[in-house]
């Protein structure tokens, strides 16, 4: 079989070059064979939504010292913009939004961020690390795939590094501000239903942080420590003060058309300078290119395949998005800025 043109699942389009795909003689991948249907998924979603509502009730009845109910990681993309609206208007939460500016946010996304937070009346912080440090992290991520193999099936090495930094920066801020929940705007394909609500635990977080931080410290130096948890953050968690991670789009109905309609009402407009799989990041196209050259499949293949199984996207739409020619002018600008 030609690894550049792999066999794809006849149902969801997942390519055989994804290590865990295990496409059988009938042409179906392992995920389609294990999929129990939309009915069962809807039951699970309802269970998670009820659980989230109960957690909110417990939080509201407790005498907490936090000024905010939830910290939302806000990229300015369509899903995170829609998630902000859900948190503010559906769940009636006091939200603090945090944007991680890695130096490659689309100017259109920056404008969308301003419009959405102003329309919703949400407090907002932008965290912008030293770009020279980010250059080193991204270049290291290109040359050294130090993330777990399963993580690389769902996102490129560059994106895993970026998302990892977002998670630890958000967790650090939530602990310091005593915010009980952290929300992410990941689609159902990015965050499976099992990860819709996760309680962070100090021991697990320390192990995950060590796996991520130690290679970076060795290659780049101690300057990266500022983006991770210190010992006193972990000690606070021992008193059950660690927040929950919440992925609302995993347990609520995901409808792309409805999402676009809603966020346009907030002033959000589609960017004109990003690739088909991103609505906020200029780095994404280059990250995808690197991943495809190394692994022979688009890093969005797993996410898109899940959305096909759930009936959100058609097979043809996924093939269009994952095979569309990239804008190499954007990629070249990114490479110059990264110094690669």
pLDDT of residue 66: 80
Beta-strand relationship, 197-199 and 244-246: antiparallel
DSSP structure string for 101-122: --S-B-HHHHHHHHHHHHHHT-
What 8-state DSSP symbol labels residue 193? G
**Residues linked to residue 124 through DSSP beta bridges, in sequence order:** 97
Q: What is the mean pLDDT of the chain?
A: 93
Arithmetic mean of pLDDT, 319-334: 85
List Cα–Cα distances, 307 to 146, 152, 186, 222, in angstroms: 27, 18, 12, 40
pLDDT tens per residue, range 277-297: 899 999 999 999 999 999 999
pLDDT band at 3 (very low <50, low <70, confident <90, very high): very low
Could you please report the per-residue DSSP string of 197-215?
EEE--HHHHHHHHHHHHHH
Give the tens place of pLDDT for each residue, 250-287: 999 899 999 999 999 999 999 999 988 899 999 999 99
What domains sit in the chain, N to C, each tagged with a CATH number? 1-35 (no CATH), 37-338 (3.40.50.620)
Any residues with CB less than 8 A from the CB of 182 and at least 6 apart, and which? 70, 71, 72, 73, 170, 171, 174, 243, 244, 245, 246
- Check residue 238 and give its pLDDT: 63
Which pair of structure tokens corresponds to residue 145? Answer: 């795939």
Q: Is 2's pLDDT higher than 50? A: no
pLDDT class for 240, splitting at 50, 70, 90?
low
| DSSP 8-state class, residue 266 | T
């Amino acid at each position: 079989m030609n690894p550049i043109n792999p066999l794809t699942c006849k149902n969801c389009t997942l390519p055989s070059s994804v290590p865990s795909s295990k496409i059988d003689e009938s042409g179906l991948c392992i995920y389609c064979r294990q999929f129990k249907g939309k009915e069962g998924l809807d039951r699970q979603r309802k269970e998670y939504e009820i659980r989230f509502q109960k957690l909110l009730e417990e939080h509201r009845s407790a005498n907490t010292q936090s000024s905010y109910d939830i910290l939302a990681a806000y990229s300015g993309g369509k899903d995170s913009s829609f998630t902000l609206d859900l948190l503010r208007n559906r769940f009636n939460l006091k939200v603090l939004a945090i944007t991680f500016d890695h130096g490659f946010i689309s100017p259109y996304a920056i404008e969308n961020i301003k419009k959405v937070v102003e329309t919703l009346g949400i407090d907002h912080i932008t965290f912008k690390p030293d770009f020279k440090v980010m250059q080193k992290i991204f270049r290291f991520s290109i040359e050294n795939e130090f993330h777990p193999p399963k993580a690389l099936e769902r996102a490129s090495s560059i994106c895993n590094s970026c998302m990892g930094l977002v998670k630890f920066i958000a967790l650090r801020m939530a602990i310091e501000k005593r915010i009980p929940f952290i929300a992410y705007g990941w689609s159902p394909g990015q965050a499976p239903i099992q990860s819709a609500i996760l309680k962070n635990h100090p021991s697990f977080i320390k192990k995950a942080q060590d796996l991520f931080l130690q290679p970076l410290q060795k290659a780049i130096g101690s300057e990266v420590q500022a983006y991770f948890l210190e010992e006193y953050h972990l000690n606070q968690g021992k008193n059950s003060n660690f927040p929950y991670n919440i992925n609302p789009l995993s347990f609520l109905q995901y409808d792309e058309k409805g999402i676009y309609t809603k966020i346009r009402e907030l002033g959000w407009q589609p960017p004109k300078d990003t690739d088909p799989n991103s609505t906020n990041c200029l780095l994404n196209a280059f990250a995808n290119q690197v991943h495809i050259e190394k692994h022979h499949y688009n890093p969005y293949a797993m996410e898109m395949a899940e959305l096909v199984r759930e009936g959100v996207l058609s097979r043809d739409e996924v093939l269009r998005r994952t095979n569309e020619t990239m804008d190499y002018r954007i990629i070249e600008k990114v490479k110059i800025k990264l110094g690669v």
